[in-house]
């Protein structure tokens, strides 16, 4: 334990004197991660009351999930909405981020703030507002309405990712490309896009996740045949603690982690 006496900082504070800091920090980090992780083994409990560690292991909750038409339909809806959102939001947001970055518009900052407002306005407001508008436009419970609303929520996320990539990108390369004979569009396509590809893909994945995990707007706006997974889960949570949700949660956590790890991995190998 001699390392406790060693100096941790330039000002000669020892590790021992800071031990409390290390303990608190580690505890907090553990506390952040553990609850989600605990759901995974608990989802394999045979009992109605999820146990850790499970006294009896079983996959009944997974069976219950896969056998249920309602849950499956909701899952398909959420996946479809997620993919469509990614397909719509990513190009729109990338174009907007690029346009703002390249133009020397006087009101660029104002426009940027406008484009980020979905992140700032309380989601409950957006939820009821969109609901009201959709009732009038007869878009309630439709996939189109859902995707439009989710894309609106996803655009700021994608914009932030792409904008930060553009900021660290040397735009002189586009100028050079144009001097060598490439039109603006070709220069973007052949020079800029390949280099911000990773960020665009990350943005698309985040757009997908934004849609897939979205709760509040989906609560109001999706329903009937187009009810999302999140909506069904939320309603189930409010009524009773259905252990099937543990199985669904585990699958969501694993799928999300795998998705993010793959994205990171692909990015590293560039």
Partner 1 sequence: MARNSSLPITIAQVTKTYGKVSALDHVDLHIKSGEFLTLLGPSGSGKTTLLTVLAGFTRPDGGSLKFGDAEMITVPPHKRDVGMVFQNYALFPHMTVAGNVAFPLKLRGVVGAESARRVERALEMVRLGGYGARGVDQLSGGQRQRVALARAIVFEPRIMLMDEPLSALDKQLREHMQIELRQLHEQLGMTTVYVTHDQREALTMSDRIAVINGGRIMQLDTPRAIYERPANRFVAEFIGESTFVPVTVAAGRLMLAGQPLQTAEPLPADGQRLLMLRPERLRVLAHSEDPGPGFNLLAATLAATVYQGDSSLLQVALPDGTRLQVRSASIGAAAPTEPGRALRLALAFQDTVLLPPDGAPA
Partner 2 sequence: MSDLPNALALQRNALWERLGLASLIMPALLLIMVTMLLPVGWLFYLSVLSDSGAFSWEHYQRMWEHPSYGRTFATTFRVSLLTTGICILLAYPLAYFLSELPKRAANLCMVAVLLPLWTSLLVRTYAWLVLLQRRGLINNWGIELGLWDEPLTLVHNLAGTLIGMVHVMLPFLVLPLYASMRAIDRNYLRAAANLGASPLRSFWLVFFPLALPGLSAGVLIVFILCLGFYVTPAVLGGGKVIMVSSRIANDIEIFFNWGAASALGVVLLVLTALLILGTARLTRLGNIMPPGGRP
Judged by the rule CB under 8 A, the positions of this chain that interact with partner 1 are 170, 172-173, 175-184, 186-187, 190-191, 194-195
Considering only residues 90 to 119 of the shown chain, the ones binding partner 2 according to CB under 8 A are: 92-93, 95-96, 98-100, 102-103, 105, 111, 114-115, 117-118
Q: Of these partners, partner 2, partner 1, none, which one is at the site of residue 265 (CB under 5 to 8 Å by kind)?
A: none
Reported for 96-105, long-range contacts at CB under 8 A and 24+ positions apart, including other chains, are 96/155, 96/159, 97/158, 97/159, 97/162, 97/163, 97/166, 98/162, 98/166, 98/188, 98/192, 100/163, 101/163, 101/166, 101/167, 101/171, 102/171, 102/174
Q: Of these partners, partner 1, partner 2, none, which one is at the site of residue 157 (CB under 5 to 8 Å by kind)?
A: none
**Smaller CB separation from partner 1, 117 or 173:** 173
Q: Of these partners, partner 1, partner 2, none, which one is at the site of residue 224 (CB under 5 to 8 Å by kind)?
A: none
**Cα dist. 98→82, 160, 163, 185, 258 in Å?**
23, 11, 7, 12, 29
User: Binding of partner 2 at residue 79 (CB under 8 A)?
Assistant: no
As beta bridge partners, residue 57 has: 45
With contact defined as beta carbons under 8 Å apart, do 183 and 240 qualify?
A: no
Q: Of these partners, partner 1, partner 2, none, which one is at the site of residue 181 (CB under 5 to 8 Å by kind)?
A: partner 1
Q: Of these partners, partner 1, partner 2, none, which one is at the site of residue 176 (CB under 5 to 8 Å by kind)?
A: partner 1
User: Binding of partner 2 at residue 209 (CB under 8 A)?
Assistant: yes
CB of 270 to partner 1, least distance (A): 9
Residue 173-202 contact track with partner 2, rule CB under 8 A, x = bound: -----------x------------------
Considering only residues 141 to 160 of the shown chain, the ones binding partner 2 according to CB under 8 A are: 148-149, 151-152, 155, 159
**Smaller CB separation from partner 1, 165 or 177:** 177
Residue 116-135 contact track with partner 2, rule CB under 8 A, x = bound: -xx-xxxxxxxxxxxxxx--
**Smaller CB separation from partner 2, 109 or 173:** 109
């Amino acid at each position: 334990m001699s390392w406790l006496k060693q100096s941790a900082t330039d000002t000669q504070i020892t590790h021992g004197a800071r031990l409390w800091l290390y303990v608190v920090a580690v505890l907090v980090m553990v506390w952040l991660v553990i609850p989600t992780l605990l759901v995974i083994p608990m989802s394999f409990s045979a009992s109605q009351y999820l146990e850790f560690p499970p006294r009896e292991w079983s996959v009944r909750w997974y069976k219950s999930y896969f056998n249920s038409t309602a849950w499956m339909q909701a899952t398909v809806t959420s996946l479809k909405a997620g993919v469509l959102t990614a397909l719509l939001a990513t190009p729109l947001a990338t174009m907007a981020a690029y346009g703002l970055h390249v133009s020397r518009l006087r009101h660029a900052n104002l426009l940027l703030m406008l484009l980020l407002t979905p992140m700032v306005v309380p989601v409950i407001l957006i939820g009821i507002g969109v609901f009201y508008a959709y009732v009038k436009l007869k878009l309630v419970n439709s996939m189109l309405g859902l995707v439009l609303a989710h894309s609106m929520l996803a655009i700021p996320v994608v914009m932030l990712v792409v904008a930060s990539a553009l900021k660290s990108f040397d735009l002189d390369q586009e100028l050079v490309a144009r001097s060598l004979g490439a039109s603006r569009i070709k220069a973007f396509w052949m020079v800029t896009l390949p280099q911000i590809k990773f960020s665009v893909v990350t943005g698309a994945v985040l757009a997908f996740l934004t849609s897939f995990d979205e709760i509040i707007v989906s609560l109001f706006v999706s329903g009937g045949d187009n009810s999302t997974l999140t909506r069904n889960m939320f309603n189930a949570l409010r009524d009773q603690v259905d252990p099937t949700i543990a199985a669904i949660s585990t699958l969501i956590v694993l799928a999300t982690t795998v998705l993010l790890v793959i994205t990171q991995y692909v990015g590293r190998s560039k």
